[in-house]
Amino acid sequence: MKIHRILTLVCLTLAASVSYAQSATIVVGKKTDGTDLKAQCYTFPQRVETFSMSGKGDYLCVSFRETTKSGKYLKNKGEIGFYDTKSSQLLWKQPINFGRASIACLSEGVLITEIGSKISLLSKETGEKRWEADLFPVYTDDSLGLVLGYNFSASNKLRAVSLKFGNTLWENKIPHQYGWNEVLELEQNKRMIVADELHKLDFMTGELLTFPGKPGAHDTKAALLQGLVAVAGAAVGAAASGGGYYYSYVPIASNTITGLTSNILSQDSLYYWADRQQISCMDTAFNVVWQKEFPDVKASRSQLFVQDGKLFMLNYGYGLREGASRKKYGRPFIACYGLDGEEIFFNQLSVKKDMIEDALRTDNALFMLFDDGLAYQELTDSVVNIVPWDTKQYGKLEAILPTTLYMANKDTTVFQSLAFDGEHCLVYNDQGIIYEVDKDLNIRNTYEREYIYSPSIRLKDYLCIGNRGDYWFIHEMGMPVAHLETNFKKGRVIDNKLLLLNDKNQFLFIDLDEAIK
């Protein structure tokens, strides 16, 4: 009922702002019975780039942003409109420079993050600036009413600022030369953060527990190359450069390899975590229960999971170059431990420094993908089956598809479900061709890209699936119910309706009950 009320209020809000949005019912597609698929449409006189809602759905912020005459580039200057879905009215509208600031719609108002280290909050009621703070923001929690950030990008002092008043709630030291790799929500206000070490942080009080670790490394090769480039540049003359950079993530030091860490696994009041040197088991107070160093190999990005009372670790053999592109690091391996720390097996998966590009776990096995090979291992067996991949005939492997896809027949009257079932997995190559591979790593089926549709939005038992701008509503079993004849920039499900922002500067509300009649 609450979600339905929010939807009604959103519709009323857009309709009430007649000078900003004109309302009409339009045809947006065809249903499979041949009748029209209709939507309630709200058209704005200005170009709408995107929209966002507060967590509770009580406020809607619309970004109005024009393009250059060619239509290829966005202009930096634009406007934002702030709507109150309770009172069904536009509260305010004001200009903004999107080239220098980003916005977030929150329950307290609009948070403006400017290039550099400055944030401010605009009032919900008037759009006036309520407060301003010097902060390089890295994490916003609307439910707790605070934003976390550093004094500036290179600072190690983490501060919490109240979204309501703009005052500092607490300050603590959390270095971040390797960025933040994970934020895991725990009980009450506590979160687990993998930064330069493992931290348990109370977001409301700043109380901090730290567990030592090494989830990153210095990239000596990159530093050497950078030094050689600098020397070469000095010989031909210096070049001046400048400009601001906006970070939407935690700043990372140069010449580093980040992401050399596992997920944080919580099991029976214990935490399991691996960095590049060792795997650790600790209690909730970060007391060590057991630790194991890795024998003659460095770990990298890895995945921990428990199966049949055993702890497994799949090490991918890569990190991230300064938080971005993949870089080979160490060697891929799979290890198995008893929950008491006893090592059961430790298998290196490549004599070379090949990295695991992707992996998928079944109930009792692992499919693993290299760029030139596939591997399969039963978790009850320490033997790994590795099969080379003919890249000349089948292309370079890119990834495993973990989600269900749909293949259309030639006249799109039927959509066949292509799903990972534990017996087969779907992989795709650098040309977008999808192969179905069995447990013996043989190709069973090949699917061409032009007939493959991927889910974009779920509405209960129904899906909106798309392929290069061609969208359909189908039942999850594959039966089509309607063809959507419009592209959209952004979509959001509210109750039994789909809210779309399309390329024609329109908000569309499509009723699922109407679509499947």
pLDDT in tens, 52-111: 888 777 788 999 999 898 888 899 999 999 987 666 678 999 999 999 999 988 889 999
Which two tokens mark 317? 């053999």
CA atoms within 13 A of residue 67's CA, in its CB half-sphere: 10
Q: Give the span between the Cα atoms of 232 and 478, in whole angstroms.
A: 60
Q: Which residues of 443-464 are buried (b: 16+ CB within 10 A; e: fewer)?
A: eeeebeeebbbeeebebeebbb
* Per-residue pLDDT at 7: 52
Q: Which residues of 142-171 are buried (b: 16+ CB within 10 A; e: fewer)?
A: bebbbbbbbeebebeebbbbbbeebeebbe
- Contacts with 375 (C-beta within 8 Å, 6 or more apart), sequence order: 349, 366, 367, 368, 369, 384, 385, 386, 387, 441
Measured CA to CA, the distance from residue 507 to residue 18 in angstroms comes to 14
**Cα separations (Å) of 222 from 225, 268, 402?**
5, 42, 34
Residue 12 backbone phi and psi in degrees, to 5: -65, -40
Biggest CA-to-CA distance, the chain = 74
Instruction: Say which residue the tokens 């989600």 belong to.
Output: 403
Mean pLDDT of 303-309: 94
Element (H, E) at 161: strand 157-162
| Tokens at 459, concatenated | 């509405």
Residue 220 pLDDT class (50, 70, 90 cuts): low
| Phi, psi angles (nearest 5°) of residue 279 | -110, 140
CA distances, 455 to each of 111, 405, 459 (Å): 32, 7, 11
Structural contact between residues 282 and 345, judged by C-beta atoms closer than 8 angstroms? no
pLDDT bucket at 421, cuts 50 / 70 / 90: confident
pLDDT in tens, 249-301: 688 888 899 999 999 999 999 999 999 999 999 999 999 999 999 988 889 99
In contact, 177 and 215? CB cutoff 8 Å: no
> Can you state the percent helix, strand and coil of the chain, rounding each to 5?
10, 50, 40
DSSP helix/strand/coil, 221: helix
Q: How far is CA 394 from CA 369, 388, 391, 401, 403, in A?
A: 14, 11, 5, 17, 22
| Position 238 pLDDT exceeds 90 | no
DSSP letter for each residue of 36-101: EEEEEEEE-SSPEEEEEE-TTSSEEEEEEEEE-TTSSSEEEEEEEEEEETTTTEEEEEEEEETTTE
Tokens 């030094």 map to which residue?
227
List pLDDT tens digits, range 348-398. 887 566 889 999 998 889 999 988 889 998 888 878 888 999 999 999 998
**Closest Cα partner for 326 from 361, 294, 356, 296?**
356
Residues 6+ apart with CB under 8 A from 154: 251
| CB half-sphere exposure, 33, CA atoms < 13 A | 7
Entry pTM: 0.83
- What values do phi and psi take at 450, rounded to 5? -65, -15
